[in-house]
C-alpha cells in the first residue's frame, strides 16, 4: 500500500471535521415598473432553482423587494448562524444609485447603502465571502465592500454606469449552464461564473448593436478598484478561482449522498489548492511547483476514483 492509500482515511476524517455550510442570500430589489419587477424576480428565482438543484448543506434565502430592516435582520442572523469555516454568498439584483460619494441599493422605503452592507457583512464570522452586486452603478459599491477575505463582483466598473444592467441574467445562466464550467470539474467557481456572465453580457450588446453601458469587474485582493480581466499576472481572481458557487452533475449528486460527501469535500479542497498553486507559480521554483502539482493531481485522481465507485 502506497503513502497516498495509507493517508486516504486520515484525509477523509479531516474533510469530515472541516465540513462547512454555504449561506446564500439572493435579493431582488425594487423594479420601479412592472417589467423590471418581473425581470428581477425571475433572475432571482433562476438562481434559487440552480442552488437548490446543486444539493449539499447549503442554506438558501431569497428575498423579493425586502425593506432595509429585513435585509439587516437576515444579515444579522448570519452573524449568529455562521462559523469561521463557513462561506457566505450575497447576490443583489436590481437598480442601484451613486451620487459620487455613496452607493445605494434601491429597495422599498429607505434604500440601503454600500457602506451599511459592508458593515453588516463585517460582523459575519464566515471567513469566505462573495458579494455579487448586479445592479446599475454597482461599481460605486466596491470601496465599501472590499476586504481581504471577500470577493466582490459588480456589473459595472464604476458608479457612473447608471443604466439598468443585464449581467444578472447571465450570472443566473452561469449557475446552470455546464459551459460555464471551463475546467470541467463539475463545479462553477466565482471566477468561472464571472467570465461567463461577462462574456455573455458583451455578446448581448454586440448582438443588439448597442454601445455597452455596463462593464463587469472583479475585486478579491481587498484593495483594488475592480479588474475586468482578473488573472495571475495582475493578482486578481485568486480567491474567486477557489470559491465554488454551485455544483453540477456528479458533484451535485455526491453532495446529496452522505456516504460520498466527505470525499467530495476533500476533492473540492484539492481542486482549490491546485487553483491557488497556479496563481503562485510565478513566485516558485519550477521543480517545487511541479512537485506540488503532481502530488495534488495524484491525490485528486485517487479521490475521483473513490467517488466513481
The DSSP H or E segment spanning 189 is strand 187-189
- Domain end, chosen from 199, 225, 247, is at 247
My answer on whether 103 and 243 are in the same domain is yes
My answer on whether 264 and 237 are in the same domain is no
Q: How far apart are CA 202 and CA 113, in angstroms?
A: 28
My answer on whether 128 and 273 are in the same domain is no
My answer on whether 268 and 238 are in the same domain is no
**Confidence (pTM):** 0.88
Q: How far apart are CA 6 and CA 189, in angstroms?
A: 31
Question: Tens of pLDDT along the chain (309 residues)?
Answer: 343 333 433 333 333 334 689 999 999 999 999 999 999 999 999 999 999 988 766 799 999 999 999 999 999 999 999 999 999 999 999 999 999 999 999 999 999 999 999 999 999 999 999 999 999 999 999 999 999 999 999 999 999 999 999 999 999 999 999 999 999 999 999 999 999 999 999 999 999 999 999 999 999 999 999 999 998 778 889 999 999 999 998 888 888 888 888 888 898 889 888 888 888 888 899 999 999 999 999 998 999 888 888
CATH number at residue 77: 3.40.50.1460
DSSP string, 272-294: HHHHHHHHHGGGS-HHHHHHHHH
Q: Which domain holds residue 288?
A: 3-13+251-308
Query: How buried is residue 237: exposed, middle or buried, by Cβ count under 10 Å (0-12/13-18/19+)?
Result: buried
My answer on whether 170 and 41 are in the same domain is yes
My answer on whether 166 and 208 are in the same domain is yes
Q: How far apart are CA 145 and CA 122, in angstroms?
A: 9
- Domain end, chosen from 222, 247, 272, is at 247
- Domain end, chosen from 247, 265, 293, is at 247
My answer on whether 171 and 293 are in the same domain is no
Q: Which of 66, 30, 60 is nearest to 45 (CA)?
A: 60
pLDDT digits (tens, 9 = 90+) for 170-183: 999 999 999 999 99
My answer on whether 123 and 26 are in the same domain is yes
203 and 170 Cβ atoms separated by less than 8 Å: no
My answer on whether 100 and 189 are in the same domain is yes
My answer on whether 267 and 178 are in the same domain is no
Contact residues for 217 (Cβ-Cβ < 8 A; gap 6+): 139, 142, 153, 154, 156, 157, 225, 226, 227, 228
Query: How high is the pLDDT of residue 231?
Result: 85
Q: How far apart are CA 28 and CA 94, in angstroms?
A: 6
My answer on whether 272 and 192 are in the same domain is no
Q: Which of 294, 237, 295, 299 is nearest to 268 (CA)?
A: 299
My answer on whether 129 and 230 are in the same domain is yes
Task: State the total domains in the chain.
Answer: 2
Q: Which of 213, 276, 304, 302 is nearest to 1 (CA)?
A: 302
190 and 240 Cβ atoms separated by less than 8 Å: yes
Amino acid at each position: 500500500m502506497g503513502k497516498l492509500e495509507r493517508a486516504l482515511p486520515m484525509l477523509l476524517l479531516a474533510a469530515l471535521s472541516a465540513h462547512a455550510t454555504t449561506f446564500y442570500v439572493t435579493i431582488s430589489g425594487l423594479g420601479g415598473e412592472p417589467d423590471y419587477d418581473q425581470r428581477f424576480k425571475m433572475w432571482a428565482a433562476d438562481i434559487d432553482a440552480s442552488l437548490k438543484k446543486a444539493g449539499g448543506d447549503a442554506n438558501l434565502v431569497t428575498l423579493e423587494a425586502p425593506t432595509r430592516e429585513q435585509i439587516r435582520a437576515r444579515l444579522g442572523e448570519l452573524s449568529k448562524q455562521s462559523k469561521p469555516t463557513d462561506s457566505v454568498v450575497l447576490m443583489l439584483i436590481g437598480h442601484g444609485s451613486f451620487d459620487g460619494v455613496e452607493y445605494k441599493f434601491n429597495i422599498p422605503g429607505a434604500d440601503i447603502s454600500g457602506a451599511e452592507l459592508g458593515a453588516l457583512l463585517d460582523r459575519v464570522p464566515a471567513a469566505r465571502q462573495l458579494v455579487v452586486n448586479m445592479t446599475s452603478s454597482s461599481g460605486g459599491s466596491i470601496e465599501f465592500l472590499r476586504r481581504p477575505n471577500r470577493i466582490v463582483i459588480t456589473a459595472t466598473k464604476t458608479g457612473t454606469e447608471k443604466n439598468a444592467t443585464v449581467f444578472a441574467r447571465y450570472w443566473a445562466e452561469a449557475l446552470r449552464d455546464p459551459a460555464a464550467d471551463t475546467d470541467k470539474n463539475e463545479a462553477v467557481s466565482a471566477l468561472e461564473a464571472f467570465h461567463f456572465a461577462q462574456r455573455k453580457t458583451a455578446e448581448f450588446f454586440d448582438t443588439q448593436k448597442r454601445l455597452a453601458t455596463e462593464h463587469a469587474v472583479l475585486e478579491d485582493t481587498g484593495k483594488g478598484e475592480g479588474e475586468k480581466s482578473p488573472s495571475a499576472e495582475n493578482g486578481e481572481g485568486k480567491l474567486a478561482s477557489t470559491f465554488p458557487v454551485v455544483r453540477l452533475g456528479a458533484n451535485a449528486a455526491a453532495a446529496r449522498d452522505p456516504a460520498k460527501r466527505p470525499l467530495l469535500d476533500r476533492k473540492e479542497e484539492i481542486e482549490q489548492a491546485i487553483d491557488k498553486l497556479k496563481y503562485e507559480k510565478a513566485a516558485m521554483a519550477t521543480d517545487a511547483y511541479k512537485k506540488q502539482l503532481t502530488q495534488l493531481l495524484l491525490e485528486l485522481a485517487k479521490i475521483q476514483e473513490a467517488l466513481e465507485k
